[in-house]
Amino acid sequence: MHQRRNGHGNGSCRDASAETSSTEEDTGKMKLEKKPRRGCYFSLAFSIGSMGLACSSLWQIPNTTDRITLQRGLFLTSLGFIYFVSLTDFCNKYLLETERGQRFRSKYRLMMSDVLEITNKIVSAIQASFSFLVGLIVCKSTCTKSFVYASHFLMEAYGWFGTAYFMYDIWSMYKVHTQKIADKLHLLRLTKAKAGQAELSNGHARTRSSNGGNNNGSTPGTPHEICDYDGACVQIPKDGRWDFLKYVLTHPVMMIHHVFIGTFGLLVVTYIRGGGHCIYSYMFMMEFSTPFVSLRSILSTMRLKESRIYIANGLLMLATFFVCRVCMWPYVMWRYSLAIEAASLWSAMCGLPRGCLVSIAILFLPQLYWFHLMVMGALKVFLPKKQRPPPNGALPATETDTPTALLNGKISAN
C-alpha cells in the first residue's frame, strides 16, 4: 500500500508536475496492462487445464460402480491442488494488476486484505458449486437403486479432488488473516499520525473511534483488534506477526471442520468405505448454501451492507443454510431408518457404530454454531440498536477521523 500525496505549488511548476505524474501513470498503466494479463492468462490456463485433465481421466471409467484406484486418486488430488491454487492466483492477479481490477478496487476502496478475502470467497463458492453438482448427480444415480449400499465412481473421484481444497483453504484463510492484521496496523499508524497533526494545529486531540467491522457485522472492542470471519475479535500482536500454528490453535472449530472433511469426510468415507454413496451425496449437497454465504461476505467487504441485494442474499443464505445444513442430517437419518426398516429414528441411530455417531456430531454441531451466528447477524440487520451517545462527553468521530476515511481519501492498495 502507498500514500498518495497532493502536491502544492503555483504556476507552471504545478502544471508540469501534474503533466509528469499523469504521463508516468499512463506509462505505468500500459506496462501493467501488458505484463499482468499474461500472468492472469497463464494462471487461468493452469486452472482450466488441471480441471480438464481431471475430467478426461474419468472418461476412461466404463461403469458407474467402478472404484477409483489409489494411483488415480493421488493424481486427482494433485490436480486439485493445482486447480485451486492457480484459480486463486488468477483472481488475485486480476484484481491487483489489471486495469479493470484496479478500477473495481478504487470504486469500492478495497485494501489488500479485502482483495484476498474476496478471492477466497470466490474460490469457496466455485468449489461448493462443484460439490453440489457431484452430489446431485450421484443422488439421482444411486438413491433409486439402494439407499445404503449403492456406489458411484464420481463420488470417490471428487472425494480425492476436493480434499485438496480443504487443505488449501486453511492456508488461504491464514493469509487473509495475516493481511488483515498488516492492513489494520497500517491504518492505526495513519490514525496516530493524524492525531499528532491535530494536536499540533489545534492544541488538543479529539477522541476517535475505529470504524472496523467484519463479515458477520461485529465490531472490534478496541482499536487493536480485528474481527475474524467467525465473529470472534482477535487481539493484534504488538510486532504484527501471527504464525501459522497460533492461527490454527485460535480457530479450533474451523480447523477441525476442514481437517475432518478433507481427510476422513471425503477420502475415508468415499474411498475406503466403498458404498453408501447415496447417503454421502446429501453431504455434498449441503454445499448448496455456500455460494450465498460467500456472496454475503463479498458484499460486506465491498461495504454494501445497506443494499437490497445484501438483504435479499442474507435471507436466501439463512433459508438455504437451514434447509441444507441444519435439516439435512435429520432427513438423511429418517431415510436411513426407513431403508433398514428400524422401529424408529432413535433406534436406527442407536444401531450405528460409535465412530459413525462421532463423525455425524463433528459434521452437524458446527453447522448449528454457524447458523446461530447467522441468525444473530440477521437480527442486527433487521433489529438495529439505537446509537448511544459517546461516553464522557467526547466528541463523536467524524467521517474524516476514522481509518476507513483515511482509506477512502489517502490510501490505494497495492
Count of C-beta atoms within a 10 Å radius of residue 351: 12
* N residues, the chain: 414
Number of H helices, E strands in the chain: 14, 4
Dist CA 38 CA 16 (whole Å): 34
Coil vs helix vs strand at 108: helix
Helix axes 277-285, 328-339, angle to 10 degrees: 170
**For 277-288, how does the pLDDT look when each residue is reduced to its tens digit (9 = 90+)?**
888 899 899 999
Dist CA 227 CA 220 (whole Å): 6
Parallel, antiparallel, or unpaired for β 233-235 and 2-3? unpaired
Spatial CA neighbour of 87 closest among 31, 168, 160? 168
Dist CA 369 CA 230 (whole Å): 10
Residue 40, pLDDT score? 82
Cell of 162: 476436493
Dist CA 263 CA 282 (whole Å): 18
Dist CA 399 CA 133 (whole Å): 46
Q: What is the pTM of this model?
A: 0.73
* Distances 266 to 52, 61, 64 between C-alpha atoms, Å: 21, 20, 18
Dist CA 168 CA 172 (whole Å): 6
Dist CA 354 CA 212 (whole Å): 44
Residue 81, pLDDT score? 95
For the chain, percent helix, then strand, then coil, each to nearest 5?
Answer: 70, 0, 25
Contact 276, 149 (CB under 8 A): yes
Dist CA 88 CA 44 (whole Å): 9
Q: Which residues contact 207 (CB under 8 A, 6 or more apart)?
A: 390, 394, 395, 397
Spatial CA neighbour of 1 closest among 131, 177, 152, 187? 187
Contact 339, 147 (CB under 8 A): yes
Cell of 67: 472404484
- Cell 438413491 locates to 143
Dist CA 310 CA 308 (whole Å): 5
Coil vs helix vs strand at 100: helix
Coil vs helix vs strand at 208: coil
DSSP state of 151: -
Residue 172's H or E segment, with its range, is: helix 153-202
Query: Within the chain, which residues score under 70 in pLDDT?
Result: 1-38, 198-242, 272-274, 385-414
- Cell 477409483 locates to 68
Parallel, antiparallel, or unpaired for β 233-235 and 411-412? unpaired
Distance of CA 106 to the CA centre of its chain: 21
Contact 301, 215 (CB under 8 A): yes
Spatial CA neighbour of 132 closest among 152, 153, 162, 160? 162
